[in-house]
Structure 1
Amino acid sequence: MLDEKGYFYIIDAILAVMLLLMVFLIVNATISIPSPDYSHDSKDIRIAQDTMEILSGKVNFDDQSFLGEISEILKGNENSKESVREVSKICKDKLKSFNLKNYRFSENNVLKGKVLASSGDYSEAGDVSVATRNYGDYSYSLSTW
């Protein structure tokens, strides 16, 4: 003959554990601490860093980065006015593809702060996010606001 009381105790214990688990989950769901919601302003701070990371990164190991490409154009033509104009056009097209509204992209070392591409009025900029990357002798800065 089977131990029928033991069988009922096991079912009773399983139901009690399930009931405690459900109560725990309900309490946890109602008391859980909400994750911080980043404001729109804090997202704008990272735009320059993210964009510059894309410009300095390689698609795969065979490709050259965007900063490498424009540096080679400048260096190959000995920083001539034509090469600066060509690089400026390339930079404007590239940054336009990122849908940036207000930005300033410049080379700070060899060209002594020459602005290669810009959009918006920098003098009226409030919060400015700046990212800088180096490629060889060239040091590029991207400011967004």
Structure 2
Amino acid sequence: MKDEKGSLYIIEAILAITILLIAILVVNTVISIPSPDYSYEAHDSKSAQDMMEILSGKINFTDRTFLGEISTILKEHKNSKKSIREVSDICQNKFDSFKFTNYKFCENNKLKGKVLAYNGNYDNANKFTVATRTYGDYSYTLYVW
């Protein structure tokens, strides 16, 4: 019997493609590539850097930054004790809002390492991360452990 319309060849081609796809799917499911185990230490090591990026980033899509605001307060009041206390309160409230439990935030240049915000026991820290940002004449360092 002669197949003049070619329907037999079409059916054979569809069957061959179906068998080929099934074979590929079986091979794909048999070969399992193990997913890599990601280390969470890399995430922890970035926490100080991430926090400093937040502090140096724009506030509410304006040109103001948190580091800019505290630097302006210190500069306008010529680093007086009152301005340092005000900035310390602002910093403490900011870090408390982020719910950080172990940190130390200080200014290194103008205030000679004065601690502006602190929480936790630094003496018992066995592993910590450090980030530094500069705004104008002020250089801020954040320690997180």
TM-score range, shorter chain: 0.7 to 0.9
Query: Kindly tell me: are residues 109 and 23 of structure 1, through their superposed partners in 2, closer, same or farther at Cα, counting changes over 3 Å?
Result: farther
Question: Which residue does 2:44 correspond to in 1?
Answer: 44
With normalisation by structure 1, the TM-score equals 0.86
Letter paired with 2:138: Y
The residue number in structure 2 matching 1:11 is 11
Secondary structure of 1:130's match? strand
Bigger Cα displacement from structure 2, 18-27 vs 38-47? 18-27
Identity level (%): 60
Q: Give, in whole Å, the separation in 2 of the partners of 1:11 and 1:78.
A: 88
Decide which structure has the larger Cα Rg and report it: 2
Aligned ranges 1:1-145 → 2 under 5 Å: 3-4=4-5, 6-145=6-145
The 1:64–1:30 alpha-carbon spacing in structure 2 relative to 1, beyond 3 Å, is farther
Q: For the aligned residues, what is the CA RMSD?
A: 2.1
Give the direction of change, closer, same or farther, for the CA distance of 1:61–1:17 in structure 2 (3 Å limit): same
Matched position secondary structure for 1:126? coil
Give structure 1 stretches of 5+ with no counterpart. Answer: none
Shift of the alpha carbon at 1:26?
4.3
Name segments (4+ residues, structure 1) moved above 4 Å.
Answer: none
Quote how far apart the aligned CAs of 1:123 are.
1.4
Q: Alpha-carbon deviations, 1:41-70, whole Å to 9, x = none?
A: 332111111111010000355340000000
Separation of aligned partners in 1, 2:26 and 2:111: 63
> How many residues of Structure 1 are paired with residues of Structure 2 in the alignment?
144
Structure 2 alignment gaps of length 5 or more: none
Structure 2 counterpart of 1:91, which letter?
A: C
Structure 2 length normalisation: TM-score? 0.86
Shift of 1:39: 3.1
Summarize the Cα distance change of 1:132–1:21 in structure 2 as closer, same or farther, 3 Å threshold: farther
